[in-house]
Structure 1
């Protein structure tokens, strides 16, 4: 790899949710885009529970509280609002409840997302369930 041949080179960073970010970027303003943005935010919060990326519980609680305020400002379909809020609340705890809440969120919001975005969320749920 390039980093091996250059001892002072930094490793390339890989954004964990490129499909969600791309979907949010290409959708027009309105409900679909806001669902994609909410899913991206929720996925980022959920990732903070994973062992390799775990944040301190106090930091996760602060992030979740701020995310819920932001979530309230979005024009989300009524069927997705509660699953998003529950998933965000779950990120203050351990990985297994977050995995379950994320799966419920996928069931509620999956119809508003494209295939690659749903796959990213499902992969994250599997990682959380295995943590």
Structure 2
């Protein structure tokens, strides 16, 4: 028998919680922008890896993410790395996405704390194995 009453909803899963906690503690600009960009692209990438990679919804989310990342105050090199990741998702290029995500992790490593790294590495592993669970 379930511990939840029959009318209760299961609690939603909030992925990359440690990234959000890190972003809220960082001062405005700089590393905070980098962490927020990593968080948003990780969320979109997670869904991209779960859903059919070439769906219209996936294409629309990638386009929306591209515009959002362009609005951030990121250094030019960081912006290029995020744009390469988003472009690879838009093309449904799994090897390109994996390579771009590894570059994103290398770029974001300076701003990450120990709690945020495991979730991001798990996403990298999920992409490498093609797991959809």
Q: Report the TM-score, using the length of structure 1 for normalisation.
A: 0.84
Distance 2:115 2:77 in 1: 21
Distance 1:16 1:95 in 2: 21
TM-superposed deviation, 1:44 = 0.8
Deviates more, 1:120-129 or 1:95-104: 95-104
SS at match of 1:111: coil
Quote the residue 1:25 is aligned against.
24
Deviates more, 1:73-82 or 1:101-110: 73-82
Structure 2 regions of 5+ residues with no counterpart?
A: none
Quote the residue 1:113 is aligned against.
112
Deviates more, 1:61-70 or 1:7-16: 7-16
Quote the residue 1:2 is aligned against.
3
TM-superposed deviation, 1:102 = 0.8
Q: Report the TM-score, using the length of structure 2 for normalisation.
A: 0.83
TM-superposed deviation, 1:96 = 4.2
Structure 2 residue 63 is matched with structure 1 residue 65: yes
SS at match of 1:112: coil
Deviates more, 1:74-83 or 1:30-39: 74-83
Structure 1 regions of 5+ residues with no counterpart?
A: none
8 Å contact from structure 1 (residues 17, 120) kept in 2: yes
Q: More helix per residue: 1 or 2?
A: 1
| Cα-Cα RMSD | 2.0
Quote the residue 1:44 is aligned against.
43
Residue 79 to residue 56, structure 1, CA distance change in 2 (3 Å): closer
TM-superposed deviation, 1:115 = 2.2
